[in-house]
């Protein structure tokens, strides 16, 4: 049996095993009790709202995706593609099919992530009535059920379309044909992340400003008309949106690594197709390591939640290193330099999680600094938060630079071909895939966040005892950190992949270098940097407009129905849900069209080299801005939670808690940070990869 067949067995075997594992996790969660009838009633309302929104969102996205697939096919049919080595019409049909397959798989990923989460929240809340450790186990396994299905679908999806496009017999051509799969995944992920982010933050901002600050009622209080929309938003943004995000990250970066593998494969005389298959083999090894990592989390009744999750990640990372060693030994004859490249990626993932945890956890200086600044009002809170956001770009930028430089150097030492640049770039590709080996475990931690957030809402709205709310609050604080960790992880992998995908574009566009001294090229780069800021502005303004509508609705209900505040009249939750839904679907279109349209316009007018500059400068700018938005917003959020937990003391040593001017200032800061960390920031992760995939697919158009 040939190595190629064995690799295929491993890739699909690990994928199928991960699906079975996901089903077993879902079965475990669904077998748990759903608590009191009041708890189940709240959870059912959240479920109905989330499903209704996703149905409307994906109907809108599907119509846009079909139109885009037709346009892409028409362009490729007209201009052809030298890299695909096929007649224009045939290449057009195959690329359009790959685009629609990627779009469909990305949409399914979002659905799966959200479905499991909305079924896990009430069971986590019920488990919190028994112990903190039990609730932690239910919520993590609920997150794992969605995460492993998504990552398995991504790896098997890329592999399946690769083999369907004759990857066995012509492995050097297939990766260029399946770029459309990555483009389709990125396309849907962008709209899903944007729509979900706008939805959740419109509700969250309205609920916080009117409920907490103006009315003085607790978070998730059933008297707040926006509270159900807020809880629904946690799922459609942090679960569906992030699930689609990491699905497309894994798919796009696998495809980029395979394209670079083609260069080495051809340069070495077509002797070893393992250069093309290595990324998929590493993904399969990472799935196995992540499954064991999740099963290793066995918390005691009063365990430290973050400590338990960190131990599970440590197990996953160690097993990933072992899997990396086996893969490089088996696929590429144990090249130690290449093993070093993958090790750089795994170490980078660990460093990104540690850096993000430092800047967003309430245990450390940045969050405590913002909390202290809240004592003197909202202005100083916001000034401090912005400063922390800017500061936090330094360490990640240094780590990314060291990682790319080290992986490139190790790659040049492999000696696979006579072209040291190609060898070096392939080294960065292996580092990227090494970083993504732990992606299933990290995504499980991310989905854990909205599950625990919703569990707290279920507990609050069903009037459970205070000790139960304290347990869900402890999990929610950790969930805020794990959501921030996933964003940091996603932007770190995007940063490593940036060089990989940029190099793949240069190969596809037949460019050897990019000369920024040329005026058209400089203009392309300048527009790429501008695109990041304009895109972020549109996303944040969309939240502002939608939140304004939500605030007016909540105020209107409080004024017109005095019985709401007295607890004798049920608020009109459906009206608030409808406001968020309509706003999200309306506002997500313009930023999405801008992201897809800008590289096309630049390519048509200024040509391929200018597009390369747009891609390069836009990617670097996007990484830095995303770091500011993600971690700055996360720090604001946990500064508020630190104050609410009573950890901040006044001059007399007494706790400063809810209902104080300091808390009100922190709520304002958190509200400013909400669209940063949950709308614009995560959407920039997708924008970075979308720029790469759209330019790869349309490179023939820009050349001619």
Q: Is the pLDDT of residue 83 over 60?
A: no
Residue 580: the pLDDT is 80
pLDDT at 313: 92
Radius of gyration of the chain (CA): 24
User: Over the stretch 245-264, which tens digit does the pLDDT of each residue have?
Assistant: 778 888 888 888 888 888 78
**In the chain, pLDDT over 90 holds for what percent of residues?**
28
pLDDT in tens, 660-679: 889 889 988 988 888 898 88
Q: Residue for token digits 């340069």?
A: 267
**What does the pLDDT read at residue 388?**
95
The 8-class DSSP code of residue 190 comes to: H
| Of 497 and 118, more confident | 118
Could you tell me which of 451, 352, 360 has the C-alpha nearest to residue 140? Answer: 451
Tell me the two tokens of residue 422. Answer: 């190609």
| Distance from C-alpha of 135 to C-alpha of 639, rounded to nearest angstrom | 24
Q: Tell me, what's the pLDDT at 657?
A: 78
Do 426 and 261 meet the contact criterion of CB atoms below 8 Å apart? Answer: yes
φ/ψ of 638, rounded to 5, equals -75, -20
pLDDT over threshold 60, residue 82: no
Is residue 237's pLDDT more than 90?
no
Of the candidates 184, 189, 185, the residue with the CA atom closest to the CA atom of residue 99 = 184
pLDDT band at 178 (very low <50, low <70, confident <90, very high): confident
Q: Is the pLDDT of residue 92 over 90?
A: no
Please give the C-alpha separations between residue 463 and each of 7, 38, 222, 393, in angstroms, as whole numbers: 54, 9, 9, 42
Max CA distance (Å), the chain: 79
The predicted model scores a pTM of 0.87
Break the chain into its structural domains and give their ranges: 3-703
For 65-83, what is the mean pLDDT? 78
Q: Write the pLDDT tens digit of every residue in 578-606.
A: 888 888 778 888 888 888 889 989 988 99
pLDDT of 368 reads 93
Q: Give which of 56, 25, 30 is closest to 43, Cα–Cα.
A: 30
What is the tens place of the pLDDT at every residue in 600-651?
899 889 988 999 999 989 989 999 999 999 899 989 988 988 888 888 887 7
Q: How far apart are alpha carbons 190 and 501 in whole angstroms?
A: 18
Other CB atoms within 10 A of residue 509 CB: 21
The more confidently predicted of residues 559 and 294 is: 294
Task: Give the separation between CA 254 and CA 439, rounded to whole angstroms.
Answer: 13
pLDDT band at 521 (very low <50, low <70, confident <90, very high): very high
SS3 13: helix
- Residues β-bridged to residue 81: 86
- Which tokens sit at 497? 């992949």
pLDDT in tens, 2-18: 788 898 899 999 999 99
Please say whether the beta carbons of 613 and 528 come within 8 A.
yes
Share of the chain above pLDDT 70, in %: 97
CB atoms within 10 A of CB 646: 12
Phi then psi for residue 35, to 5 deg, are 75, -150
The mean pLDDT value of the chain amounts to: 85
Q: By the 8 A CB rule, do 550 and 580 touch? A: yes
More confident: 46 or 145: 145
Q: How many CB atoms lie within 10 A of CB 611?
A: 32
Give 101-118 as a 3 state SS string: HHHHHHHHHHHHHHHHHH
Q: Which residues contact 237 (CB under 8 A, 6 or more apart)?
A: 193, 196, 197, 199, 200, 201, 450, 678, 679
Tokens 């943004």: give the residue: 237
Reduced 3-state DSSP string for 248-264: HHHHHHHHHHHHHHHHH
pLDDT at 289 over 90: yes
């Amino acid at each position: 049996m040939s190595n190629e067949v064995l690799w295929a067995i491993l890739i699909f075997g690990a994928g199928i095993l991960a699906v079975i594992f996901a089903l077993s996790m879902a079965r475990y969660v669904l077998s748990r009790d759903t608590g009191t009838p009041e708890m189940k009633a709240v959870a059912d309302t959240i479920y109905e709202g989330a499903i209704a929104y996703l149905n409307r969102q994906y109907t809108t996205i599907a119509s846009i995706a079909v139109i885009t697939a037709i346009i892409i096919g028409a362009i490729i049919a007209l201009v052809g593609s030298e890299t695909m080595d096929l007649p224009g019409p045939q290449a057009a049909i195959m690329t359009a099919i790959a685009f629609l397959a990627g779009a469909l798989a990305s949409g399914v990923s979002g659905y799966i992530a959200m479905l499991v989460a909305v079924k896990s929240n009430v069971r986590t809340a019920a488990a919190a009535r028994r112990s903190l450790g039990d609730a932690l186990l239910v919520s993590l396994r609920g997150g794992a059920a969605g995460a492993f299905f998504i990552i398995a679908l991504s790896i098997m999806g890329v592999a399946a379309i690769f083999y369907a496009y004759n990857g066995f017999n012509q492995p050097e051509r297939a990766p260029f044909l399946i770029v459309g799969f990555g483009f389709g995944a990125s396309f849907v992920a962008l709209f899903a992340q944007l729509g979900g982010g706008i939805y959740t933050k419109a509700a969250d901002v309205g609920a916080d400003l009117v409920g907490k600050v103006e009315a003085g009622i607790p978070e998730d209080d059933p008297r707040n008309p926006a509270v159900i929309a807020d809880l629904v938003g946690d799922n459609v943004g942090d679960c569906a949106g992030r699930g689609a995000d990491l699905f497309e990250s894994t798919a796009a970066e696998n495809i980029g690594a395979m394209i670079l593998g083609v260069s080495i494969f051809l340069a070495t005389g077509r002797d070893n197709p393992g250069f093309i298959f290595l990324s998929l083999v590493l993904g399969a090894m990472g799935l196995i390591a992540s499954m064991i990592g999740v099963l290793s989390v066995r918390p005691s009744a009063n365990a430290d939640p973050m400590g338990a999750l960190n131990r599970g990640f440590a197990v996953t990372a160690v097993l990933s290193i072992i899997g990396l060693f086996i893969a490089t030994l088996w696929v590429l004859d144990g090249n130690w330099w290449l093993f070093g490249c993958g090790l750089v990626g795994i170490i980078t993932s660990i460093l990104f999680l540690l850096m993000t945890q430092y800047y967003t956890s309430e245990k450390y200086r940045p969050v405590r600094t913002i909390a202290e600044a809240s004592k003197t009002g909202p202005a100083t809170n916001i000034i401090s938060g912005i400063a922390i956001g800017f500061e936090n770009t330094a360490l990640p930028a240094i780590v990314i630079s060291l990682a790319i430089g080290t992986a490139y150097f190790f790659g040049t030492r492999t000696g696979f071909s006579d072209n040291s640049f190609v060898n070096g770039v392939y080294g960065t590709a292996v580092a990227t895939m090494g970083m993504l080996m732990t992606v299933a475990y990290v995504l499980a931690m991310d989905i854990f966040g909205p599950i625990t957030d919703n569990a707290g809402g279920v507990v609050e709205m069903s009037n459970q005892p205070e000790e139960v709310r304290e347990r869900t609050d402890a999990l929610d604080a950790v969930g805020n950190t794990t959501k921030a960790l996933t964003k940091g992880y996603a932007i770190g992998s995007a940063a490593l992949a940036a060089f990989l995908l940029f190099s793949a574009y240069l190969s596809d566009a037949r460019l050897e270098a990019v000369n920024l001294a040329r005026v058209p090229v400089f203009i392309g780069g300048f527009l790429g940097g501008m695109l990041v800021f304009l895109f972020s502005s549109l996303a944040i303004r969309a939240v502002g407009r939608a939140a304004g509508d939500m605030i007016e609705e909540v105020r209107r209900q409080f004024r017109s129905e005095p019985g709401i505040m007295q607890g004798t009249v049920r608020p009109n939750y459906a009206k608030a849900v409808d406001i968020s839904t309509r706003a999200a679907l309306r506002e997500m279109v313009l930023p999405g069209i801008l992201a897809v349209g800008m590289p096309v316009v630049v390519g048509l007018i200024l040509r391929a080299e200018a597009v390369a500059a747009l891609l390069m400068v836009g990617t670097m700018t996007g990484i830095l801005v995303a770091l500011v938005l993600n971690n700055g917003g996360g720090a604001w959020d946990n500064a508020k939670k630190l104050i609410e937990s009573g950890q901040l003391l006044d001059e007399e040593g007494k706790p400063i808690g809810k209902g104080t001017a300091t808390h009100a200032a922190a709520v304002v800061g958190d509200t400013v940070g909400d669209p940063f960390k949950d709308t614009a920031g995560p959407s920039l992760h997708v924008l970075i990869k979308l720029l790469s995939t759209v330019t790869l697919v349309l490179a023939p158009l820009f050349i001619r």
